[in-house]
Amino acid sequence: MSLRLGWLAEVLGDSPTLNLSSQAQALIKAGEPVINLTAGEPDFPTPDPVLAAARAALADGHIRYTASAGIPELREKVAAYYTAASGLPYAANEVIVSNGAKQVLFNALSVLLNEGDRVAIPVPYWVSYPAQVTALRGKVIEVAPSRGWKVTPEDLERSGAREARALILNSPVNPTGAVYDRAELAAIAEWCRSGDFFILADEIYEDLVYTGAGHVSLVQVAPDLRHRIVRISGLSKSYAMTGWRVGFGLADKPTIDAMTRLQSHSTSNVCTIAQKAALAAFDCRPQVAEMRQAFHRRRDALVAALAGVGGVRFAVPDGAFYLMLDCSEVIDPARRREGCWRLASHLLEKQKLATIPGEAFGAPGCLRISFARSEAELREAVARLRVGLRGFPG
């Protein structure tokens, strides 16, 4: 065939997280006793009222297209929810409902970037950030933290983020579970004031914070920057609704309108039944709290078990359901460039333990562990990890 695919087909790799996750799932299907710590989703069922609302939507014949930005009742509910939760007034026309937070991000980047524009992304990052920027012919500026997992204004300045057209700030962070507190956000906001760029605040894990202070949104500490901030969230992680594909974007009306025009030409609306079901999610805050408590207990169980494992280091995650395990000490310095891919393969092959190499997220020498698993599984996983690390040739 002489016709070649376009540049993007060659540039864009598969998502390494999805690859490893499906490898682990294939082994599980084949009957192997794999403990899968690659999951980027809750293992809880979607709350019953949401399921009931979906059945009712079907029974009532809600099977047609909706408005691209979402059904008005849902946009109103989202606006009312975020108005109450953040103390900043949002109108329904400042909300878009998209196919997950992922499409909100893609819509936003699409309408904010021009070809060649740079986007500042703190490292380590969720894998889809650089992929989406690349797909839109933008350029990534990686912002490495000088200490720990969170970036500071100094890190942003040093990396040249001031030249960017947009900054993506994710909190709680996938893949580290780090959570930016009010003071850290205030410092970043102050730095943002001295520049002129958009900020995409990815808050998809906003309900999964294990500190007393809870989640703080950048826009709450810097309401004056609101016109430059696109808030990104949705039902996937907090409500155990990853497969329903309901994400929310909150921004100024002109930005939302532009995102809606794009969505109308790409995917139209989110599945009508999912939107109807999503209305019921807002009554499920007690179930969200229960799931958060369960994740909190799991986090504690994982951290307690890991404390006795030699050769690894980690920071206790304050949010989301991921922990980044620094395994660089167990890797032969001569083979550091190969990173943790060999270690992850070794653990999967020898110990039936599935993890994701930190290299996938820009964190060399680390493994990402998801604690969206039962406490018993997590304890067994750490026992296997301990044996696996001991048997790893380095």
Ligand X SMILES: Cc1ncc(COP(=O)(O)O)c(C=O)c1O
Task: Considering the complex, state which of residue 97 and residue 330 has its C-beta at the smaller distance from ligand X.
Answer: 97
d(CA 280, CA 273): 12
CA atoms within 13 A on the CB side of 362: 21
C-alpha–C-alpha distance, residues 373 and 233, integer Å: 23
Question: Which string of DSSP letters, residue by residue, matches 48-87?
Answer: HHHHHHHHHHHHTT--S---TT--HHHHHHHHHHHHHHHS
| Shortest distance (Å) from residue 391 CB to ligand X | 31
In contact, 188 and 169? CB cutoff 8 Å: yes
According to the 3-state scheme, what is the secondary structure of 352-389? CEECEEHHHHCCCCEEEEECCCCHHHHHHHHHHHHHHH
Task: Name the minimum Å distance from CB 126 to ligand X.
Answer: 4
- DSSP state for residue 232 in the 8-state scheme: E
Distance of alpha carbon 385 from alpha carbon 37, whole angstroms: 11
Q: Which is nearer to ligand X, 216 or 331 (CB)?
A: 216
**Contact residues: ligand X, CB under 6 A:** 40, 100-102, 126, 170, 174, 202, 204, 234, 236, 242, 247
Task: Please identify, using beta-carbon distances, which residue of 202 and 207 lies nearer to ligand X.
Answer: 202
3-state helix, strand, coil in the chain (%, to 5): 50, 15, 40
Closest approach, Cβ 179 to ligand X, in A, equals: 13
Q: State in angstroms the smallest separation of the CB of 275 from ligand X.
A: 14
**Nearest residue (CB) to ligand X, 66 versus 170:** 170
Of the pair 43, 338, the CB lying nearest ligand X is at: 43
Report d(CA 76, CA 92) in Å as an integer: 5
Please report how close the Cβ of residue 49 comes to ligand X at its closest, in angstroms.
Answer: 20
Query: Tell me, what amino acid is at 157?
Result: E
Sheet containing strand 322-326, strands side by side: 313-314, 322-326, 366-370, 356-357
Find all residues with CB under 8 Å of 386, minimum gap 6, and list them: 308, 309
Gap between the Cα atoms of 107 and 264, Å rounded: 11
CB-wise, 71 or 330, nearer to ligand X? 71
Residue closer to ligand X, measured from CB, 101 or 108: 101
Q: Are 111 and 166 in contact (CB under 8 A)?
A: no
Give the tokens for residue 153.
Answer: 């204004």
Q: How far is the CB of 364 from ligand X (least distance, A)?
A: 20
Counting DSSP H helices and E strands in the chain, the numbers are 14, 13
Q: Which is nearer to ligand X, 97 or 340 (CB)?
A: 97
What are the two backbone dihedrals, phi and then psi, of residue 313, each rounded to the nearest 5 degrees? -135, 155
Nearer to ligand X, 126 or 314 (CB): 126
Q: Which residue's CB atom is positioned nearest to ligand X?
A: 100
| Residue with Cβ nearer ligand X (40 or 122) | 40
Order of strands, edge to edge, in the sheet holding 139-143?
95-98, 247-250, 229-234, 198-202, 166-170, 118-122, 139-143
What's the min distance (Å) between Cβ of 17 and ligand X?
A: 8
CB of 310 to ligand X, least distance (A): 30
